[in-house]
Amino acid sequence: MASVPGVHAQLSHSMVSVPERGVLDLSASTWSRVRSNAVLWALVDRNILSVSQLSGGRARLQGSCYVGRVMLDRVVLDLTEKIPGALVALLQSATSDSFRIEHLPSSASDLGALISLLVRQFLRVTRTYVSAGREFEYRALPSASAMVSGRLNTTRTLKLRARGLRHLLAFERSTIRKNTAKNRILSAALREIGKLARLVAIPADDLALARGLSMIFSDCHDAELLFGCREHIVKTTLRLASAAQSAKDRDLLYLASVVLSHESFEHGADGANTVPRAWFLNLENLFQIAVQRKFQERYAGQVGTAAQMGKNAPLYPEQANSYRANPDLVFLRNGVADAIGDVKYKTWSTTPAASDLYQLLAHASAVGTRCAFLIFPGHQYEERDLGPSASGCRTWLFSVDVRNLPAHLWNVLSRLELGDKV
């Protein structure tokens, strides 16, 4: 077996593959090798993996919505997609139509190669953006001096004179600042590439380019970006991508969101010969981004989350800040909600969980629409019309094949009579 990057070449490794949202039973010998590894239990704590004990010293691993790889001593644990080709299709649908992953050589078809290609595409569009000149904005900075070099502020000048500073004049000076939200997001994504290089094989030329571009964005390196919550940055990225008017900006921001939205961590080496590492991608988030993006391309109005569309209405008007409707998708046209939808990255069933339907109907009632649906990933396109509910909301269930997402989501729009984008 070929050696795994980052692990001592003399070690022999065994590969263990757990299907995403599937199970795998480990033999007693394999379980004894990995059960004392702290990285395994860190995965369990993060709900990336679950473990249950079986008889005879065996164990059962159950995957979640993540795909990726972790190294546990001499055992390499792969979490693979349940639907072959799902990861490739979702990455392409969620990022850019110009991101043609199908051209990836067959000899480099693993997750690391896909992420490397994703990084290269992000660097390409970022370099194009920087070459055309970064986004900037004018900001007024308050100043005080004996010589006025901006717009005079009479109120502040009088305050200075009242303090006895008669030689000073207060004014506001306009300056160009490039520390905008978009530039900050790109700066964060470029810094993340350096961390990815320790987890997956990224070509040296791409890594050097990322470091060079990161220096251009050095004016964005403040405490919030360096030490702030990455989840907040990802949410901001998706909000800006949904509102972007330019297709180039949408592609750039969606690529940045995928680079930023992975789960990664490193654990101290258990010994001198191993370097534990992990990299996981959340297919649930990726599926939601891809569905929203494809709907935006075909729907005549606006599509986004309830917060993005300003439709996160309270479920209890007298407790407006406690319980609010937050569907994954709101279809808004001329200020009116045509429909709402929830994206469920669960195993497709024509009889979904009652709790999912209750939640959907509560959201529909709060938003004020009479059309709602649930959408699941599956192996083919399927639909089920549940008819009008007791509240009068017509409810649909859809299964779409992520490998043929644009066509199947167009079928959804047609069935819901939401029309095509003009």
What is the per-residue pLDDT across 352-390, written as a single tens digit (0 to 9) for each? 899 999 999 999 999 989 999 999 998 899 999 999 999
Evaluate whether residue 375 is within a structural domain: yes
| Residues 97, 246 share a domain | yes
Quick one: which of 139, 141, 98 has its CA closest to 120? Answer: 98
- Per-residue pLDDT at 154 exceeds 80: yes
- Cα 270 from Cα 267, distance rounded (Å): 8
| Residues 315, 399 share a domain | yes
Q: What pLDDT is stored for residue 364 in this prediction?
A: 92
| Residues 275, 128 share a domain | no
Number of folded domains that form the chain: 4
Q: What pLDDT is stored for residue 359 in this prediction?
A: 93
| Residues 209, 95 share a domain | yes
- Which range is least confidently modeled, 96-105, 140-149, 154-163, 321-330? 96-105
Q: CA 165, 170, 175 angle in degrees (round to 5)?
A: 145
Quick one: which of 287, 282, 265, 308 has its CA closest to 403? Answer: 287
Structure token pair of residue 334 = 């001329």
Residue 271: which pLDDT band, with cuts at 50, 70 and 90? very low
Q: What pLDDT is stored for residue 265 in this prediction?
A: 55
Evaluate whether residue 288 is within a structural domain: no
| Residues 58, 153 share a domain | no
| Residues 97, 240 share a domain | yes
Evaluate whether residue 211 is within a structural domain: yes
| Residues 232, 353 share a domain | no
**Sequence-ordered list of residues with C-beta below 8 angstroms from that of 150, at least 6 positions apart, any chain:** 140, 143, 171, 172, 173, 174
Please compute the mean of the pLDDT values over residues 297-322 and round it to a whole number.
82
Residue 278: which pLDDT band, with cuts at 50, 70 and 90? low
Structure token pair of residue 386 = 């549940």
Strand-pair category, 169-177 with 137-145: antiparallel
Beta bridge partners of 141: 173
Residue 98: which pLDDT band, with cuts at 50, 70 and 90? low
Range of the domain at 230: 85-136+184-261
- Per-residue pLDDT at 266 exceeds 60: no
Evaluate whether residue 105 is within a structural domain: yes
Structure token pair of residue 186 = 């790109």
Structure token pair of residue 316 = 């209890």
Q: How far is CA 123 from CA 12, 116, 126, 255, 349, in A?
A: 35, 11, 5, 9, 40
Task: For the chain, give the percent of residues with pLDDT over 90.
Answer: 25
| Residues 354, 303 share a domain | yes
- Cα 199 from Cα 275, distance rounded (Å): 10
Evaluate whether residue 266 is within a structural domain: no
Q: Which of 282, 311, 345 is the last residue of a domain?
A: 282
| Residues 372, 251 share a domain | no
| Residues 122, 7 share a domain | no
Phi, psi of 125 (to 5 degrees): -75, -30
- Per-residue pLDDT at 270 exceeds 50: no
> How many Cα atoms within 13 Å fall on the side-chain side of residue 91?
25
Q: Which of 177, 209, 244 is the last residue of a domain?
A: 177
Phi, psi of 338 (to 5 degrees): -70, -40
- Cα 98 from Cα 118, distance rounded (Å): 11
| Residues 63, 191 share a domain | no
| Interval 22-54: pLDDT, tens | 899 989 988 988 888 888 888 888 888 899 999
Evaluate whether residue 293 is within a structural domain: no
Q: Which of 177, 201, 226 is the last residue of a domain?
A: 177
Please compute the mean of the pLDDT values over residues 192-208 and round it to a whole number.
83
Average pLDDT, the chain: 81
Evaluate whether residue 16 is within a structural domain: yes
Length of the chain: 422
